[in-house]
A and B are shown apart, each in its own frame.
Chain A
Amino acid sequence: MIYISAVIIPLIIAIIIFCGLVENKKVYDLFCEGAKEGIEMTLKMFPTLIGIFLAIGMLRNSGLLDFFAKFIGNIIKNFNVPSEIIPLALIKPISGSASMALATDIISKFGTETRIGMIAATIMAASETTFYVIAVYMNSIKAKKSRNVIIPAIIADLVSIITAICIIK
Chain B
Amino acid sequence: MDIYIKKEVIILNYLWPILILLSFLFSILNGNIQNLNNSIFSSVSDVVTLSLTLVGNMCLWCGLMKIIKETKIMNLLIKILNPILKWLYPDSKNNKKAMEAISINTVSNFLGIGNAATPAGLKAMEELQKENRKKDELSNSMIMLIVLNTTSIQLIPTTVIAIRVALGSPNPSNIIIPIWISTIAGTLTGVIVTKILLRRKKV
Contact = CB atoms under 8 A, between A and B. Distances in A.
B155 interface: yes
Contacts of A62: 22-24, 26-27, 30, 32, 35-36
Contact of A34 (B4, B66, B137, B173): B66
A143 B181 CA distance: 33
Interface string B124-146: 01101100001111100011011
Interface string B43-79: 1101100110011011111111111111111000000
B interface, over-half SS? helix
B88 interface: no
**Interface bracket on A:** 35 or more
B122 interface: yes
Nearest to A148: B197
Contacts, number: 345
B168 interface: yes
Contact of B64 (A16, A58, A141): A16
B151 A149 contact: no
Interface in B74-131: 115, 118, 121-122, 125-126, 128-129
A57 B39 contact: yes
B69 to A, nearest CB: 8
A17 B137 contact: no
B171 A163 contact: no
A33 B151 contact: no
A103 B57 CA distance: 18
Interface of A: 1-2, 4-6, 8-9, 12-13, 16-17, 19-20, 23, 25, 27, 30-39, 41-42, 44-46, 48-64, 67, 94-98, 100, 103-104, 107-108, 112-113, 118, 121-130, 132-138, 140-149, 151-153, 155-157, 159-161, 163-164, 167-168
